[in-house]
Amino acid sequence: MSVIYLVLPLAIVLAALGVWAFIRAARQGQFDDLETPAARMLPDDDPPERAVRS
């Protein structure tokens, strides 16, 4: 039973730290554009080279 006196405050501190990290990330714009980073990998950088037949 005495373990709960250690675990409960630790859990509350960790939860508060998680909420603080989420709020900080949201204020800095981490979640503003969720579509562009995923679509950025789709286009090829270089067009494929065509095979030259002799």
Beta strands (DSSP E) in the chain are: none
| Cβ atoms 19, 13 nearer than 8 A | no
What is the pLDDT, as a whole number, of residue 35?
79
Half-sphere exposure of 5 (CA within 13 A, CB side): 2
Q: Would you list the domain boundaries of the chain?
A: 4-31
The pTM for the full model equals 0.59
Q: How far apart are the first and last CA of the chain?
A: 84
- 15 exposure class (CB count in 10 Å sphere: 0-12, 13-18, 19+): exposed
- What pLDDT sits at residue 15? 98
Q: What is the pLDDT of residues 1-54, one digit of tens each?
A: 889 999 999 999 999 999 999 999 999 988 888 777 777 777 766 766 776 766
